[in-house]
């Protein structure tokens, strides 16, 4: 358990470091071009950005994506995120609740987080692999109840797991496990990746077993292959990370392909969303909600107000991007 806590702490530090190092790099959203609308015929400031997602109302089409759950320093981060989400009227997904369920430190991932954000959609989060090996259905339901969640996120992270050196290669039965969870829990199930993207074919398989929403979590944002390469001293893992560092489906491609095959599925765009213009592009491609994790982490280490300021600027740019494009 100490190793899990250390890994989660390393992830916070390395994601922040990666954010500083990759600001100037090419992003897949730069290749998506919107057509300028010279005659928008709309009051941009009064443009309604509220939306409904999985039966809950959002003031803005934003989701604070799952970030961190476990290390003690994450508690302040989660408090700032939850308080800001409540003030803004946006959704929030918590970090993995694995550590909280195994009683090794909750980092606020208990009822505390609901007390900070009593009115917003709040999403639980567990890893797909843990559905098979760590938790019973009762424990999975407990993860939902401990934060009074409105939905459960199940994250797919096969390649990320392999890069951690644990060598747990047995992913047989994951789809059946997800189907069982969908049938058992009393909230909608969202499935997301952690930066490698979800294809239209995989999304269709997930929807067919009862998944209610897809978060594509595509290539372009935080690169957990690089993160794990920075953590390890194993030369084989470093070599593997170099081989697979560009692996994955870019977020714009994942969004547009899933929307084409599944026109009615609630769809979250995450992965490489830097600002409100990227958010506008995602919505134009078919996303219902846009999510960020890495780009808001620095603000979350500072204060609730820093997180609010971040998303208020996102909103302002999103308004312009949607109003001034056809």
* Token pair in block for residue 152: 């459960």
133-140 contacts: CB < 8 A, separation 24 or more? 133/168, 134/98, 134/101, 134/102, 135/101, 137/180, 137/181, 137/184, 137/185, 139/101, 140/181, 140/184, 140/185
Residue 38 DSSP code: S
pLDDT grade for 163, boundaries at 50, 70 and 90: confident
Specify the pTM.
0.89
Q: How confident is the model at residue 251 (pLDDT cuts 50, 70, 90)?
A: very high
pLDDT digits (tens, 9 = 90+) for 202-245: 999 999 999 999 999 999 877 778 777 677 778 888 888 888 88
Hey, what domains does the chain have and what are their CATH numbers? 2-22+42-323 (3.20.20.70)
Residue 271's pLDDT is: 94
pLDDT at 103: 67
CB atoms within 10 A of CB 23: 9
**The predicted structure's pLDDT at residue 188:** 98
Lowest mean pLDDT of 15-19, 33-37, 73-77, name the range.
15-19
> Which has the minimum average pLDDT: 4-13, 57-66, 266-275, 311-320?
4-13
């Amino acid at each position: 358990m100490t190793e899990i806590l250390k890994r989660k702490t390393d992830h916070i530090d390395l994601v922040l470091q990666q954010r500083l190092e990759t600001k100037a790099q090419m992003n897949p959203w730069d290749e998506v071009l919107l057509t300028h609308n010279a005659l928008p015929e709309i009051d941009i400031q009064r443009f309604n950005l509220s939306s409904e997602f999985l039966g809950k109302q959002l003031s803005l089409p934003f989701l604070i994506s799952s970030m961190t759950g476990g290390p003690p320093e994450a508690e302040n981060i989660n408090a700032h995120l939850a308080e800001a989400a409540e003030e803004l009227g946006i959704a929030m997904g918590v970090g993995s609740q694995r550590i909280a369920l195994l009683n090794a430190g909750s980092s606020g991932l208990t009822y505390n987080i609901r007390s900070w954000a009593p009115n917003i959609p709040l999403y639980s989060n567990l890893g797909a692999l843990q559905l098979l090996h760590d938790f019973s259905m009762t424990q999975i339901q407990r993860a939902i109840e401990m934060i009074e969640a409105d939905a459960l996120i199940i994250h797919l992270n096969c390649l990320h797991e392999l890069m951690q050196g644990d060598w747990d290669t047995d992913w047989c039965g994951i789809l059946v496990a997800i189907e069982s969870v969908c049938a058992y829990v009393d909230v909608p199930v969202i499935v997301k990746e952690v930066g490698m993207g979800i294809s239209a074919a995989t999304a269709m398989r997930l929807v067919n077993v009862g998944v209610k929403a897809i978060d594509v979590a595509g290539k372009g944002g935080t690169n957990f292959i690089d993160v794990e390469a920075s953590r390890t001293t194993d030369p084989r893992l470093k070599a593997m990370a170099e081989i697979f560092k560009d692996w994955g489906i870019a977020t714009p491609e994942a969004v547009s392909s899933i929307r084409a095959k599944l026109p009615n599925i609630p769809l979250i765009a995450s992965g490489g969303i830097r600002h409100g213009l990227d958010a506008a592009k995602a919505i134009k491609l078919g996303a219902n909600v846009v999510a960020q994790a890495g780009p808001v982490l620095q603000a979350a280490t500072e204060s609730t107000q820093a997180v609010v300021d971040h998303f208020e600027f996102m909103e302002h740019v999103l308004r312009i991007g949607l109003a001034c494009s056809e």
